[in-house]
Structure 1
Amino acid sequence: MFGTQNHPDKRLAEYRSNLTGIKHRYRLTPMRPRPNQPITVHVTTSGGIPYDVVRCWINETAFDLGADKTEWSALEWRYVQHWQRKIPPQPSGTLLNYRLGGRVAGSDTWIFADNQARTKSAATEFAIAIDDYEIPEWARTAVIYHIFLDRFYPGDDVPWKKPTNLSGFFGGTLRGAIQKLDYIQSLGCNAVWLSPLFASPSHHGYDATDYDTVEPRLGTNAELHELIAEAHRRGIRVIMDFVANHWSNRHPTFQAAQQDADSAYREWYTWHRWPDEYASFFGVKGMPQLNLMHKPARDALLACAQRWLRAGIDGYRLDYAPGPPRLFWAEFRKACKSVNSDAFLFGEVVSHSEVIASYLPHFDGCLDFLLADALRKTFALETWTLQAFEAFLAAHENYFPGGFALPAFLDNHDMTRILYLAKEDKAKVRLAALVLFTLPGAPILYNGTEVGLSQRNPLGRFEEARLPTPWGDAQDKTLLAYFRRLGELRSQFPELSSSKREIAHLNINTGTYAYHRGPVLVALNTSRVPRTLNMAVPNLSDTAQELLNGHPVEVSGDVVRISLPAQSGAFIA
């Protein structure tokens, strides 16, 4: 899930790199500055270079930071100097651009954060949008259904195609998605996230050739507008997958840039050696990376995002968010919110909490890969104990401010299906899903997970996790009913998206665990034998019942008693 970050030596290298040189890494107080609020900028310096001045430039105005605390790094076996400075409050609507640099002591040489450039013009350009926008209220209580279009549903009376390999086209369409909106609504989902749907040569669509035209295999622009209208008629929001970092090498602008050295589009890309060597998405030549420090390229994407918001799209899942520069994301936030202040913008940032939190000034939230990893390790793989899970969860919930959304999930199109990970044990999936649906982050349900879709082989390639969604008798109706009930309960108890969670019971020897949030008590038995839990839970209603599986529950004063079969859970309210 975390790529090179899975390896301790890579994590150590990142940690050491973050300590070396002059670094800012979007360390601000507060983490998301508001209008007319003082902003403290934080910088560290370390390594073999002494600095006598650290400076912040905002346009042509310079502010010198003051030396703050000095820390000893036992790992690096040297000191780390902290610097900070309050900069003036900024009015609402400001796009704050700034650079930071340090003067090497005894010289006129400057080194700039974070890229260690030696000239200000080449320095990292930091940027944040100053505004009062909060997470859209609808996003706080969202239950999101993730549709991977080519693999979701081809349409009524339309058979699946039979490609020769998993990279081929299976035939899912927008018409099929429209016809299944009632099904999605029956799951308690009030939002859909559509995989990329623009013109593209691939089944996944993350390599688009035209951001204004729907891929003909999937349908038409008219059908996309129909889907938006039909979803809205049902109270379902529509989230589009927006890829800003890269697109197809068949995109007309790239074709023009590659064929003509004098093309106006040449600067839209970063060329190592024109015309055949260029920056691309993880070295994939078919996905050239856009140079979003080039204003015309930025403006083209911003205009596209605004057009689709005006067409009724309710938000964007922002693919590979660490790829584009923060200047782009600051402008993106401002551009999108100016069209629809209720648009939900959340990023795909597959990293640790410190990196995720650095996106607070740019997004409404980020996908919660850390929680997904914890859920999978605890309930599917069982490599984490319940104690380890609770330790993670307690810290995780306290780390991020309440104004930052963390949509959560069990699996997605780029990772092993949770059922396959659990060795086809659906009881493990049910336990993980119960926890997912009773934590604050908006639950995301990847199409097929709710009906027992697994995969044939280990995840040697992403396509293994993208098998077509089964329908009719091929679905596990019992599991489907379970997910529908979870969705219903999530809707019935909106406190689940906001109430503070408190642990009620934890016993790693018996494999039992419980917590309560507002009026809801969640209890789990992960062991392979029946267990009875006796818990002290203040303020639970004397008439509380187990609403998920119908297990008998006794409430006497502040004491709750429930007997749970092996590998089962309870939702008590």
Structure 2
Amino acid sequence: MLFCSMAATLFFVASAAAASAADWRSRSIYQVVTDRFATTNGLTGPCDPSARKYCGGTWQGLINRLDYIQNMGFDAVWISPVSANVEEETAYGDAYHGYWTRDLNTLNPKFGTPGDLKALGSALRDRNMYLMVDVVVNHYAAPPTNISEKIPQSFDFTSLAPFTSANDFHPQCFITDASNQTEVEQCWLGDASLPLLDIDTENPTNFEMLRSWIANLVLEYNIDGLRISDARYIRQSFWRDFAGASGVFAMGEILSDNVSYTSDYTQVLDAVLDYPTWFTLVEAFSGAKGDFDSLMRTVLESQEKYASGLCMTGSFVENYDQPRFPSFTKDESLIKNAITWPFIHDGIPIVYYGQEQGFQGGAVPSNHESLWSSDYHVYQKPLVQHITDLNAVRKLAINSKQNFLTTQMTFVPQLNDNAIAVSKPPLLALLTNAGNSSTATWTIPGNAGLFLKGQTLVDVLTCQSYNVDPVTGSLTVESRYGLPQVILPARYLDSKGSLCTGAAQNSARRIMRNHLSVSGVAMLIGLIATIHSFI
């Protein structure tokens, strides 16, 4: 059994009151695009993602809909960047997403007032939930100009704040070679239609201004964690000091499928988004020809190379930047299998708003739908229930005293190319890419040492019970319609909990029947084995 190293965590906790990396590890994050989640007055007008316009979502609207998020079992919310953005319409629409900064020190009035953002932080804390804020440190957006190869010399840098001079930014050159790290860090994102001015973070004055800004932002608005946009576009040495100044958990976006490249950033940040696994995950679960071997290799390489293994990563299927998974497949069984992955993964599960509603938007901006178009319905919404159950079983596993958060996931080899078995005690996840017209089968040999002979197990997604073979200790599971299963010993289920209460009661009755039918010595041996078993 392998455990995650925590050597690279807890770098940035400035006070006992701040949520540590270890605290965040137990959380489940719901990501929202603030402008698209909920309006202040609850109005549900049309919002066409392709228009790239503001649709009216606010921080107060989010406060009003926190029940919706919390009732699914989430205990952290990740919101869009909060700083003021360019106000003019650009060649790529409005800055409704929050990533085109023009003034770090001023909040985006489209999302609400300073009081509203403070109220959001307070509302979350009252619910024992964390607030994660997306931050853009790498660049500013130039207000729209005429399309040309360079920003006109007459450009008024004083329209930006607090960086008001051309000298505050790297000389203009657009990134053309993403494999050239110097170019990645020194040149600009964007294009001539909307240049993203690259901040000269090597300038000591600029560096101190950024440190001061993030420290004040966190303190002023009771922020518990940061998601750092475009972290790969600034030198690695910058992040340790910047995140340290914030005093809170920091997770960086490193958009790369390369584990070795991404691993370098795990040395200077608390966590990274698990993009290398995401690339193989989407391919693996998009259809029956998906490659589970590639997925497993990526996981094993990441566990080996990342500073804390995969335990300090953000695991996701969808996000703001990538097409929604149902845009690749409409097969609900495949979708459920993919959604299950982050919850049995070593890292922190992240669900992108609308994922629970089955939104199908493709590439940006199609994947920025308004959530109010769903009327926030939760009944007869199979993915809402699926995600709620996954959050519940993950919390149950965390509280099981089986070191769930620090024990690395392992794979139990399967002969079926369409089946993958993931062990993360006390959970065993059985996933498949066979699709809803197929039946999947998994075999867990007794020598895997996962369960006791004769033990009763329950799939918490269907409440189906299984008995481990009393002689060989092996387990064979079949799933009709290609649905995922998340199995654990029935003894962990609470008859008063939300998961498979009937199965918990049946398990208790079964134990009582055994008590009446075996000798006192045998019962004592069984109880001792149960208490001390490695599940």
Q: TM-score, normalised by structure 2?
A: 0.74
Counterparts in 2 of 1:567 and 1:326: CA distance versus 1, 3 Å: same
1:16-66 CA distance string (max 9 Å, x none):
xxxxxxxxxxxxxx997899xxxxxxxxxxxxxxxxxxxxxxxxxxxxxxx
CA shift for structure 1 position 310: 1.0
2:464 alignment partner, SS class: coil
* Residue matched to 2:411: 503
Establish whether residue 406 from structure 1 lines up as the match of residue 291 from structure 2: no
Shift of 1:225: 0.3
Query: For 2:101, what is the secondary structure of its paired residue?
Result: coil
Partner residue in 2 for 1:565: 480
Distance 1:552 1:525, change over 3 A: farther
Q: Which runs of 5+ in 2 are unaligned?
A: 13-17, 88-94, 145-153, 174-185, 489-535
Query: 2:9, 2:477 → 1: CA distance?
Result: 47
1:550 and 2:466 correspond: no
Q: What does 1:76-225 correspond to in 2, within 5 Å?
A: 136-162=21-47, 165-200=50-85, 201=87, 202-225=95-118
Give the corresponding residue for 1:538.
449
Output the CA distance in 2 between the equivalents of 1:265 and 1:308.
23
Q: Which amino acid aligns with 2:170?
A: T
Question: Is 2:48–2:369's contact at 8 Å kept on the other side of the alignment?
Answer: no
| Equivalent AA in structure 2 for residue 517 of structure 1 | K
- Taking only aligned residues, the RMSD between alpha carbons, in angstroms, comes to 3.1
Counterpart residue type for residue 449 of structure 2: P
What is aligned with 1:347?
A: 252
Aligned length: 430
Question: Cα–Cα, structure 1 residues 473 and 559, in superposed 2: closer, same or farther, change >3 Å?
Answer: same
Task: Kindly indicate whether the alpha-carbon contact (under 8 Å) linking 1:31 and 1:360 is maintained by their aligned counterparts in 2.
Answer: no
Residue of structure 2 in register with 1:445 after alignment: 351
Aligned with residue 370 of structure 1, among 276, 294, 300: 276
SS across alignment from 1:523: strand
Q: 1:382 to 1:415 in 2, by over 3 A?
A: farther
Identify the match of residue 471 of structure 1 among 354, 369, 374: 374
Residue 429 of structure 1, CA deviation:
1.1
Partner secondary structure for residue 436 of structure 1: helix
Instruction: Name the CA shift for 1:394/1:353 in 2 (closer, same or farther; >3 Å).
Output: closer
Residue 297 of structure 2 corresponds to 391
Aligned to 1:485: 389
Q: Identity of counterpart residues, as a percentage?
A: 20
Query: Residue 552 of structure 1 contacts residue 563 of structure 1 at CA under 8 Å; is this kept in 2?
Result: no
Q: Which moved more, 1:157-166 or 1:373-382?
A: 157-166
Change (3 A) 1:246 1:298: same
Q: Give 1:393 deviation, angstroms.
A: 2.5
C-alpha distance 34-410 of structure 1, shift in aligned 2 (>3 A): closer
TM-score w.r.t. the length of structure 1 is 0.69
The one-letter amino acid paired with 2:391 is G
Cα distance change of structure 1 residues 265 and 383 upon mapping to structure 2, 3 Å threshold: farther
In structure 2, do the counterparts of structure 1 residues 382 and 365 end up closer, same or farther at CA, with 3 Å as the change threshold?
farther
Q: Of Structure 1 and Structure 2, which has the larger fraction of its residues in strand?
A: 1
Is the Cα contact below 8 Å between 1:154 and 1:160 reproduced in 2? no
Residue equivalent to 1:309: 218
Cα distance between partner residues in 1 of 2:337 and 2:159: 55
- Contact 2:442 2:478 survives alignment (8 Å): yes
Q: 1:391 to 1:218 in 2, by over 3 A?
A: same
Q: Does 1:230 align with 2:123?
A: yes
> CA separation in 2, counterparts of 1:176 and 1:515?
39
Task: Please list every run of 5 or more consecutive structure 1 residues that lacks an aligned counterpart in the other structure.
Answer: 1-29, 36-91, 94-132
Amino acid at match of 1:487: N
**How far apart are 1:333 and its partner, in Å?**
2.7
| Distance in 2 of aligned mates of 1:349 and 1:441 | 15
How big is the shift at 1:307? Answer: 0.8
Deviation at 1:549, TM superposition (A): 1.5
Give the 5 Å matches for 1:242-391. Answer: 242-250=135-143, 256-257=156-157, 265-272=165-172, 280-283=188-191, 285-311=194-220, 312-336=222-246, 340=247, 343-351=248-256, 352-391=258-297
The residue matched to 2:369 in structure 1 has which SS?
coil
